[in-house]
Structure 1
């Protein structure tokens, strides 16, 4: 296919046991004008062998190794996919998940009909049992733009990595930060919205993500230094991006500063305070809060303990 409408980008790493199931759900799409770029991030298993038949049978699938001029990791693999994508629209899928057979048809129709830059759909988690694909009437349940970017920053609107179909233009001046190993999508997508791109939220569950014990999120909450440091850097980059685009509201500022307090890293906390628009008085008040935070944690634990004992 010379000019596919949609480019699907899948970064893969040692997922030979799962990836074929994802590719089969892509091949079953009702919307046919797509290419799927599979970028191997240096895996050592037999992924290429496992998917060899589907590569031969359907030339819309392309299996490539990440070049060394892109950094190892999800971001480098996705950036490589973006740089060679031929489609007018971009969507990222993970190698161990599944997609609804109408995911491309529904989201593409929304983008064209409403002339928006991206369409955000819903996801559903599963562990072992393959979920049933539900056919629901498409309903627009919200908009995403600079007016409600606060909801994206705080997570009230959760733009997960694989739940958005984007116009390719969204990535013309935005790429994934290849130094980040966690919260990279959050940072990148906020940057895109900060630049004025607009989207629609629909009610359809179109993506099915497989739950793992050893996920990046699980490692973050287990205080893996690589994930924790990445989240801190992402917070700083988000603050900087929103500030540069003159979108830094008090609510966003307070949220990001409060996030920095939780890491118990005074150097990082002061870096966020310095980048914010807080006055000296406000900064001093947050510094006091920083030092009192451990006592607040103890107080909250005591309150929870009292509630349980009274039940």
Structure 2
């Protein structure tokens, strides 16, 4: 166990001069002080660097780096650059417009150094407009352990894994990086690989991070609006997740049923056939899942009618 662990905070940024200093301030206000913050600029065109210049001179824990051509443009490439430069024992990702609870690092490091775990998950809340700095400083909270047996809950989003709501041991990233061509679901695809490869982690029931919700478009918003690049990326990420689970013999009927149901919305990207071809199935099993896929739209249609009728009654 490291007696004086260091945390590497990786913050990708792109044209967020308006918000980044408020996020930076929440890092400087951390009660745990042994950290470095790697600010990775993804090719922004605003005055972010000028705004950061005084800070970089005053606090050597901050480092400003421009993403190099070795990494693809986008959040995954920028974060991979940060991972390759990180010197800490623990890794955490913060966004350039959000607010971290002052005890974020302290509580996560405490969990990681006092228990035999590889990651610490916590609660992430969302806010709009001005942030309310009335933090809850209580150190009393409930918790539960997570391991690869929980992967189905994670992939079905029943157990959410947001990128800025987990602190990881550096060892989690020894052989794992973001898939850089993915522009949507890249976090879920990476975290599924990690969680099915490492030991158990812990989830604590305490809000330690606050994500700013913008009115204007974002990558997530583009997905909600069915933008082409996001839809393709989601299909690609799903295909990769199925391949990972298959390689580790973790595919179950439950998660396969879930992915096949999703594939109905991605016929353009041939997702159903990609999923089935990734799994070792007998002829009878292939017939069973093909039948399930073919009749699924009708089942969903009648279920929707039943649900609407039940609401009216």
TM-score by length of 2: 0.92
Correspondence 1:19-168 to 2 at 5 A: 19-131=20-132, 132-168=134-170
Aligned to 1:170: 172
Counterpart contact for 1:170–1:197, Cα < 8 Å: no
- Please tell me whether the aligned partners of residues 12 and 94 of structure 1 are also in contact (alpha carbons under 8 angstroms): yes
Gaps of 5+ in 2: none
Residue 272 of structure 1 is matched in structure 2 by: 275
Would you identify which runs of 4 or more consecutive aligned residues in structure 1 move more than 3 Å? 288-308
Following superposition, the deviation at residue 301 of structure 1 comes to 4.8
Per-residue deviation at 1:307?
5.0
Q: Which moved more, 1:32-41 or 1:254-263?
A: 254-263
SS at match of 2:164: coil
Q: Per-residue displacement from partner, 1:176-221 (whole Å, max 9, x unpaired)?
A: 0001101011010110111133210001100000112422222112
Asked whether the equivalents of residues 118 and 198 of structure 2 are also in contact (C-alpha less than 8 Å), the reply is no
**Alignment root-mean-square deviation, CA:** 1.9
Aligned length: 308
**Residue equivalent to 1:225:** 228
Shift in Å, 1:119: 0.4
Match of 2:181 in 1: 179
Q: Superposed, which structure 2 residues align to 1:161-310 within 5 Å?
A: 161-213=163-215, 214-265=217-268, 267-303=270-306, 305-306=308-309, 310=312
How far apart are residue 293 of structure 1 and its match?
4.2
- Given that 1:4 and 1:35 are in contact with CA atoms closer than 8 Å, whether structure 2 keeps it comes out as no
Moved more, 236-245 or 14-23: 236-245
In 2, Cα distance between equivalents of 1:179 and 1:254: 26
**Residues 13, 40 of structure 2: 8 Å contact kept:** yes
Q: 1:285, 1:4 → 2: CA distance?
A: 52
Q: For structure 1, list consecutive stretches of 5 or more residues without a partner in the other structure.
A: none
Q: 1:11 to 1:266 in 2, by over 3 A?
A: closer
Classify 1:266/1:38 alpha carbon distance in 2 versus 1 (closer, same or farther; 3 Å): closer
C-alpha displacement of 1:306: 4.1
How big is the shift at 1:140? 4.0
Q: Indicate if the aligned counterparts of 1:19 and 1:95 stay in contact, CA closer than 8 A.
A: yes
Deviation at 1:259, TM superposition (A): 1.9
Residue 266 of structure 1, CA deviation: 7.1
Note if contact 1:140-1:200 (Cα within 8 Å) is conserved in structure 2: no
Which deviations, in whole Å up to 9, do the C-alpha atoms of 1:245-297 show, x marking residues without a partner? 22222222222222223323472211101212443333333333434444445
- What TM-score, normalized to structure 1? 0.93
Aligned to 2:272, what secondary structure does the other structure show?
A: helix
